[in-house]
Amino acid sequence: MTATSGEGGGWGGTGPNRAEIIRSGFSTPADSPHVPSFPFSYRNAEILTLAYRTSPDAIARLLPEPLEPTGDVVLIHIYKLNDTDWLGPYTEANIMVGARLPGGAEGAYSPWLFLSSSSGVSQGREVHGQPKKDAKVQLRPKTDAWVGRVRRNGIDVVTGTMAYKQRRCGPESLKRYMDFGLNLNLKVIDHIDGRPAIRQITARRFADLTIHESWEGPCTVELRPNVQAPVYRLPVLEMLDGFYWRADFTLVPGVILLDYLATPPAAGSSA
């Protein structure tokens, strides 16, 4: 067996040097990076989006200060990602609520995300600050309905259904309840000695979005309690609409909206 050296060092060569280590997009292991660098694209992604009404107090309890809720609607996106650069095919679920930064951006905050890709979990947590966890996520047609499931610890914590392609809709219908294209996240990373290293509100938006088809119709959402996937904390009070859509898009760098470690606490803050 012959050892070879890849870009930035590796077997048979020198390890990564300082310049390589501090460059943007560097990831370990150096000779087989686990986290992709920007940009990377998704092709022929299938998404089931389920909207329902919940308690405003339940949303407020999940938002980090100083984010504010913009409504009482929850969106659950269940993705079947058929062709993704670096990551390959995998599945994912993103639970979102409308939120705004006072005097700033307005979009959708993610209290939980679940997916089947270890690289996707790492990239989401390390780069975006998304609260991703491993889970079994499934989206498939069952005769005359779309059925989406999120399974964690052997429990179907989310089961969603939508009528199969009954009513076409335009892409603008997907933003009926909130601008979920701007995804807000709380990024939390500590130093090895336990000191806070990163405490930020981050935001990202997909680029090169092309929607190939979109449909809307009646839907249902069932939530089951699980301490490791507590989506039940956003109880279903009223079902709204479901959407099935198929799209291409590209993940590009986002922005830092708030740096808690660099910004003095506002008057009246709990800090």
Active-site residue numbers? 132
DSSP 224: -
Helix spans in the chain (H): 18-22, 56-62, 118-123
Contact yes or no for 5/30 (Cβ under 8 A): no
Between CA 92 and CA 82 the distance in angstroms is: 11
DSSP 4: -
Contact yes or no for 150/114 (Cβ under 8 A): yes
- Helix or strand or coil: residue 177? coil
Three-state SS letters, 105-131:
CEEEEEEEEEECCHHHHHHHHHHHCCC
Between CA 174 and CA 113 the distance in angstroms is: 19
